Structure 1
Amino acid sequence: MTSEQFDAVIVGAGFAGIGAAIQLKRSGIENFVILDREDDLGGTWYVNHYPGLAVDVPTTTYSYFFEPNPNWSRLFSTGDEIKQYADDVADKYDVRRHIRFGVTVDGARWDEDATLWRVNLADGTTLSSRYLLTATGFLSQPHMPDIPGITEFEGRVIHTTAWDDSYDPSGEKIAVIGTGATAVQLIPELAKKSADLTVYQRTPIWVVPKVDFRFSERAKRLFARVPLTQRLIKRLTDSIYEVMVSVAVRHYGTFRGRFNISASDLAKIHRFVTIRDKDLRRRLTPDYDFGCKRPTFSNSYYRTFTKPHVHLQDTGITRVEADGIVAGDGTKTVIDTLVLATGFDLWEANFPAIEVIGRNGRNLGKWWRETRFQAYQGVSIPHFPNYLSLASPYAFIGLNFFNTMEYQMRHMDRLFGEVRRRGATTFEVTEQANAEFLDRMTDLLGNSLFTIGDCASARSYYFNPAGEPTLLRPTSTQTAIREASEFPVTDYSFG
């Protein structure tokens, strides 16, 4: 049954959902609700709280463009600080009162006759809404490895997205499956207390030194009193990262991969200085181009493998038994705790994160898989009126999600402004505008690392199941912001 009606329903209370809520308020829309399955806001920064969690880009860039945070303690701030920032912004902009926690959304269907979205909840309730915005993020669905016998293990099993804060690794024999960005942060922390730590690696990761430092109290006071100083630093760090992504990823062919080679040489030097064992260095060396898979920063990851109680296992996993793991080389490691640092399922479970049915019964997930993953400006899809998907193909710019959120908020501002000016009831991107955008993105990717680089063995979540690198939008941040602010309103039909 239908119990309530809203002007807008936002699915997800992470940074995307908070940003969307703020923009709705700016557009004069107050009758909206944010639905989140967790019991607090923050999205991935609430769900993840494993030891060593920190942002992997400078926090000077990691904030809403309209809300700089003068309180970061260091250049690469901890997860606790990021979560606190989400709380502070939600409170300042009066977003929290719109959020309903512990609510699971099963799906949504467009009602053509009523020109409304019917949003179905797991408890059987159906909400009605003029607009639907899915802000479920890219890192919201944990990936559970399909390993023979994994359900037979009798010890403790912890996925990094459901970390047990009461768990004490002291004196334990631990196995970690995975060597992605999460594992790079977690493994050194576990090694400090465990009696024995075995790391099961499928794909090595590029790791470069981390230049981190604390912000002095004087600096934080300056940021608070003169926000322009922090904005200038943000502009500097944003520009540095923008150049890196432009040269190393978007224009890889133009620069013939020179930056990628230099970065991989830096990682190679880092390994050589840290690890004296030649064979261990070889096993920790990726065989794909730098940047195909998200690289990471750490000063302790490589050093951890030089400790006598830490072991690298890279022959694969044959099966998990009640008391341990049998590797591909036939050796068995007896363990007390199994830690799954296996990341997230982006494509199979996250595009989209809920079932969305548009006009004429078009199923978004099925349509994406039967045609191609696509979304105009990374937010709109034809046949899905009054719907914005903030975690879509071609949505992520590649620096951090706040850059993505900035252009998406500006897109919302222009779009809802036009709806209000016309007195319209619905908006929907045209087939032509969507097709032209998809063609342009495809052409731009032709010069990118993902198309002409050596990424075959990276197993990167940048690539969809068809092998297309459709997660990233191959434009600069400034280009995305400009297009979001100036796109032709004729790209949409209004009714």
Structure 2
Amino acid sequence: MPRSPSVLVIGAGFGGLGVGIELLRAGFGDVTILEQADEIGGVWRDNTYPNAACDVPSSLYSWSFAPNPGWGHRYSRQDEILDYLHRTAAEQGVLDHVRTGVRVTGAAWHEDEHRWHVRTASGESLTADVLVPALGQLSRPVVPDLPGIDRFAGPAFHSAQWRHDVDLTGARVAVVGTGASAIQFVPGIVDRVASMTVFQRSAPYVVPKPDRAYTRTHHRAFSGFPPSQTFGRRLTWVLSERLNAALTAGGAMKRLLELGWRAQLRRQVPDAALRGRLRPDYPLGCKRLLFSNDWYPALAQDHVEVVTEVVTEVEPAGVRATDGRLHEADVIIWGTGFAATEFLAPLTITGSGGVDLHEVWADGAHAHLGMTVPGFPNLFLVYGPNTNLGGSSIIGMMEAQAGYIRQAVRAVARGRTLAVRRSVAASFDAEMQERLAHSVWAQCNSWYRADGGRVSTNWPGMVAEYVARTARLEASDFEPAGVRDDDVEVLG
């Protein structure tokens, strides 16, 4: 190749590291991954709350090129996954390309140079031929802007910023939120606290989690006969694809999930009034489907109260709800999720002609194949708009994106600037929104949707479809400026 393009990746979680590994394996050595924290890991570095674990089986929630025969459980714990990330990144040689403690504040495309100029919080300026933001959708914790929130007398923290220095033993704890994090940390602390008040805005569907510890026999089989683990991964892939289909189109599996939820709720919550408060008022799948065997038993304990009134303000002594009642607390834990639809915030990204990306996305984020945006050449997002999944492993989506970005970098190496056509991006977005308008995710409000109602996070099909559609970077999708005839075959 004439040259090796310089590539700047922002974020060192699964997505950013995966792109780095893919490019290094393809022979592109000028890759730098910028990470604002002091170590790699993304969400698996940040979320250290009690019981933090994955809700996708370990065999599938891992890179296809790096199976791990040593998983301790079918559903891996946070520390296992973080260790896997560190170990695999070291084995693949990508750690030498990571700079930690570097917070990117913005980037601008310089048309005269055909390069990106990237700014950091320290005032450093970096340049690159290709920019790959890999910030993820669940990286910016959200704490509600409530009156009096700064006047609370005790510790208050978000689940993704867990205060391990706060002793919860014998404490009165208020938990605000009942999402994917809360259903893990609430059972993890419920037996330590004196009392717990759980504020529920809407009840989640919680189905049984078929978890188990792997035995010595499992580990011997996985290590000594790798096809046994490969078979498990493929079987999990098939089942997860059926789950994706069930959540979007219904069918027998969705009915089985509903039966499993009903049976678990009835079996684990004997109190009829509490069961009534824990029944969702929206279709299964419209909000994130949750997996747990101990959520309902935790809420059914005598020292736990589930409050469905909306929180209106925080006072020094506790939390007040719409019914006027003050719920006294020593500690508040915010299980209020993340700013999933605010893609790339708070970075300022300006493209051709100085256009601000967030202005382009004023009505909701959108990108061709979730990666490229018209007017922003040589910019490729990882885990961008409409690439999240209702079921299955996001790792499969991000591996497909890494392969697509590898093809893009190869094209840049041949002297091409890649600017996606507006007509191509508009056609893709229209297809996504038409399909999503008929999906279960359009039937309620959730973190999948932006304020205007646009579903900007989720992919409307199965992973296999996305893998197929990103397998080849099509030359015709991009503006023709600077293209030679012989570049077409290179893009594949």
Normalization by structure 1: what TM-score? 0.93
One-letter amino acid matched to 1:317:
V
Q: 1:396, CA displacement in angstroms? A: 2.2
Unaligned regions of 5+ residues in structure 1, if any? Answer: none
> Does residue 324 of the first structure (1) align with residue 324 of the second (2)?
no
Partner of 1:427: 418
> Does residue 355 of the first structure (1) align with residue 348 of the second (2)?
yes
- Which of residues 374, 386, 390 is equivalent to 1:382? 374
Deviations 1:241-267 (A, max 9, x none): 101111321x24xx4xx6444422321
Deviations 1:50-84 (A, max 9, x none): 00101011111101111111111111111000101
Q: Distance in 1 between matches of 2:313 and 2:11?
A: 36
Partner of 1:481: 467
**Is the contact between residue 61 and residue 234 of structure 1 (CA under 8 Å) also seen in structure 2?**
yes
Q: 1:144, CA displacement in angstroms? A: 1.1
Partner of 1:338: 332
Q: 1:352, CA displacement in angstroms? A: 4.4
Q: 1:226, CA displacement in angstroms? A: 2.6
Identical pairs, percent: 32
- Which of residues 287, 292, 297 is equivalent to 2:281? 287
**Is the contact between residue 184 and residue 298 of structure 1 (CA under 8 Å) also seen in structure 2?**
yes
One-letter amino acid matched to 1:481:
V
**Is the contact between residue 292 and residue 450 of structure 1 (CA under 8 Å) also seen in structure 2?**
yes
Alignment of 1:26-41 (within 5 A): 26-41=25-40
> Does residue 308 of the first structure (1) align with residue 302 of the second (2)?
yes
Residue aligned with 1:75, SS? coil
Q: Distance in 2 between matches of 1:236 and 1:461?
A: 29
Residue aligned with 1:41, SS? coil
Partner of 2:490: none
Deviations 1:366-385 (A, max 9, x none): 10114x53211111111111
Q: 1:411, CA displacement in angstroms? A: 1.1
**Is the contact between residue 314 and residue 320 of structure 2 (CA under 8 Å) also seen in structure 1?**
yes
> Does residue 406 of the first structure (1) align with residue 399 of the second (2)?
yes
**Is the contact between residue 341 and residue 457 of structure 2 (CA under 8 Å) also seen in structure 1?**
no
Count of equivalent residues: 477
**Is the contact between residue 383 and residue 428 of structure 1 (CA under 8 Å) also seen in structure 2?**
yes
Q: 1:391, CA displacement in angstroms? A: 2.7
Normalization by structure 2: what TM-score? 0.93
One-letter amino acid matched to 1:279:
A
Partner of 1:85: 84
Q: 1:487, CA displacement in angstroms? A: 4.3
**Is the contact between residue 410 and residue 481 of structure 1 (CA under 8 Å) also seen in structure 2?**
no
Deviations 1:191-230 (A, max 9, x none): 1100111111111111011111111122112212332221
**Is the contact between residue 13 and residue 36 of structure 1 (CA under 8 Å) also seen in structure 2?**
yes
**Is the contact between residue 183 and residue 341 of structure 1 (CA under 8 Å) also seen in structure 2?**
yes
**Is the contact between residue 352 and residue 364 of structure 1 (CA under 8 Å) also seen in structure 2?**
no
> Does residue 153 of the first structure (1) align with residue 152 of the second (2)?
yes
**Is the contact between residue 134 and residue 391 of structure 1 (CA under 8 Å) also seen in structure 2?**
no
**Is the contact between residue 6 and residue 33 of structure 1 (CA under 8 Å) also seen in structure 2?**
no
Q: 1:425, CA displacement in angstroms? A: 4.1
> Does residue 440 of the first structure (1) align with residue 431 of the second (2)?
yes
Stretch of structure 1 that moved more, 166-175 or 51-60: 166-175
One-letter amino acid matched to 1:272:
R
Partner of 2:11: 12
Alignment of 1:17-416 (within 5 A): 17-249=16-248, 251-252=249-250, 255=251, 259-348=253-342, 350-370=343-363, 372-398=364-390, 399-416=392-409
Q: 1:327, CA displacement in angstroms? A: 2.0
Q: 1:287, CA displacement in angstroms? A: 0.2
Alpha carbons of structure 1 residues 305 and 396: separation in structure 2 relative to 1, 3 Å: closer
Partner of 2:452: 466
Q: Distance in 1 between matches of 2:366 and 2:320?
A: 41
Stretch of structure 1 that moved more, 467-476 or 402-411: 467-476
Partner of 1:417: 410
Q: 1:448, CA displacement in angstroms? A: 2.0
> RMSD of the TM alignment (CA)?
1.8
**Is the contact between residue 136 and residue 353 of structure 1 (CA under 8 Å) also seen in structure 2?**
no
**Is the contact between residue 376 and residue 434 of structure 1 (CA under 8 Å) also seen in structure 2?**
yes
Residue aligned with 2:165, SS? coil
One-letter amino acid matched to 1:476:
M
Deviations 1:309-343 (A, max 9, x none): 11111112222111211222222222111111111
Stretch of structure 1 that moved more, 179-188 or 465-474: 465-474
